[in-house]
Amino acid sequence: MVLAAGLGTRMRPLTEATPKPLLKLSGRSLLDHALDRIDAAGIGKVVVNAHWFPGQVEAVCAARPHPPRVLREEPIQETGGGMRDALPHLGADPFLAVNGDAYWLDGPTPTIERLAATFRPDEMDALLLMVRAATVEGEVGRGDFLLDPLGRVRLPKEREISPYVYAGLQIVHPRLLEGAPEGPFGTMLLWKRAIESGRLFGLVHDGAWFHLSRPVDLRRAESALATGLVRALF
């Protein structure tokens, strides 16, 4: 699933009339970049949700060699609600969920393949791709998570700095969504529950990743890619 229903408010004015996942980087939309990597991984069943100018998202998806199914959200359901509503179209197996504005470059092994090889469905409700906060150019605050030696995720304690930032890719077991509430809600609600049961894990990215929150971030990424000045995250 590609989560492409957000309003992209921090990316304004670029998103005043364009969904954030349709902003272009290196000549292609962020959504196309994500779908290119999903297609390359051999994933055949793909769902994209849309809310902000959904017709534009539908047009981009329809133009692809293997068009994904587009689910219109009205009203917007946020990330957790979006996955909940897409689940009937995804089936009973674990699935990949990608933020529509996520842009990454693979390390030695394709990132999606690496996530799939690491995911253990009997032990994990979700496996999140992480990047080291210290290597990210842009505003990431105090980071998102910490990892124990086994890769289990935990939240920071008071005054604790989190060394890792969520990179916008995860493998999700449908079990994560059991008992999900009605209406809009964020994925953090589900993650916290998985943390409490010791079933939320993280994998540190071994390639490059771009934080794309504001227009300046998009300009920096475009410049880095054009000049070859891409910082690898190891």
pLDDT of residue 226: 84
- Percent of the chain having pLDDT more than 70? 94
Q: Model-level pTM greater than 0.85?
A: yes
CATH of residue 100's domain is 3.90.550.10
Domain count, the chain: 1
pLDDT digits (tens, 9 = 90+) for 76-111: 999 999 999 999 999 899 999 999 999 999 999 999
233 in a structural domain: no
16 in a structural domain: yes
Q: Is the pLDDT reported for residue 232 higher than 90?
A: no
What letters, b where the CB count within 10 A reaches 16 and e where it falls short, cover 27-65?
Answer: eebbbbbbbebbeeeebeebbbbbbbebebbeebbeeee
pLDDT digits (tens, 9 = 90+) for 123-173: 999 999 999 887 676 565 567 899 999 999 999 888 788 899 999 999 999
**Structural domain span for residue 181:** 2-227
pLDDT confidence band for 233 (50 / 70 / 90): very low
232 in a structural domain: no
What does each C-alpha distance from 28 to 21, 52, 183 come to in angstroms? 10, 19, 33
pLDDT of residue 95: 97
Q: Is the pLDDT reported for residue 10 higher than 50?
A: yes
What separation, in Å, do the N-terminal and C-terminal C-alpha atoms of the chain show? 27
pLDDT of residue 51: 95
